[in-house]
Amino acid sequence: MSRSAGQVLQGRPLPGGIAAGPGATAVTARCERGSGTVLVAALAMVALMLIAASVLLVGAAVAASRAASAADLAALGAADAARGLRGGEPCVVAREIALRHGARLNACEMTGPHGHIVTVRTVVATISILPDARGAARAGPPPELAASPAGGAAPAG
């Protein structure tokens, strides 16, 4: 009794020592050899892609935090200069502080009745495939003090 390649080889070992189960053929067993390696390689690639995406997201979050911190500090320094608490032109002070913190000053605006409220916008460069991170901050006296004739100076008394 001869068997063709497509007939079931139940109970007999196939070439390479693989036991044939119900419905298995010699051709099927040979075609599936190495498929586990391909599956593991595909899973490894998916894992690497997820890690790369995570690194990009963390990098973007760090850059956004740096931009916001630089904007906060630049606005505070500029507001101090606007009120005369430190020397220098407010927007020049803001630019210097932003540069010291790894950011570029994008805009500086002095508002309020006495110009004591300073609004700044900063930009921090990120990885080339991501957009730049941006930060904005406002600093100065509270609105009720900014409108007073003293211009935000502490009340005497």
Instruction: Report pLDDT digits (tens) over 55-90.
Output: 999 999 999 999 999 999 999 999 999 988 889 999
User: Does 156 have pLDDT greater than 50?
Assistant: no
Chain centroid to CA 117: how far? 30
What is the spatial distance between Cα 50 and Cα 52, in angstroms, rounded to a whole number?
5
**End-to-end alpha carbon distance in the chain:** 116
Structure tokens at 18: 């693989």
Average pLDDT over residues 97-126: 91
Residues 10 and 29: beta-carbon distance below 8 Å? no
The pLDDT of residue 106 is 94
The pair of structure tokens assigned to 93 is: 């002070």
The pTM assigned to this predicted structure is: 0.66
Amino acid 129: pLDDT: 86
Report, as an integer, the average pLDDT of 14-36.
Answer: 64
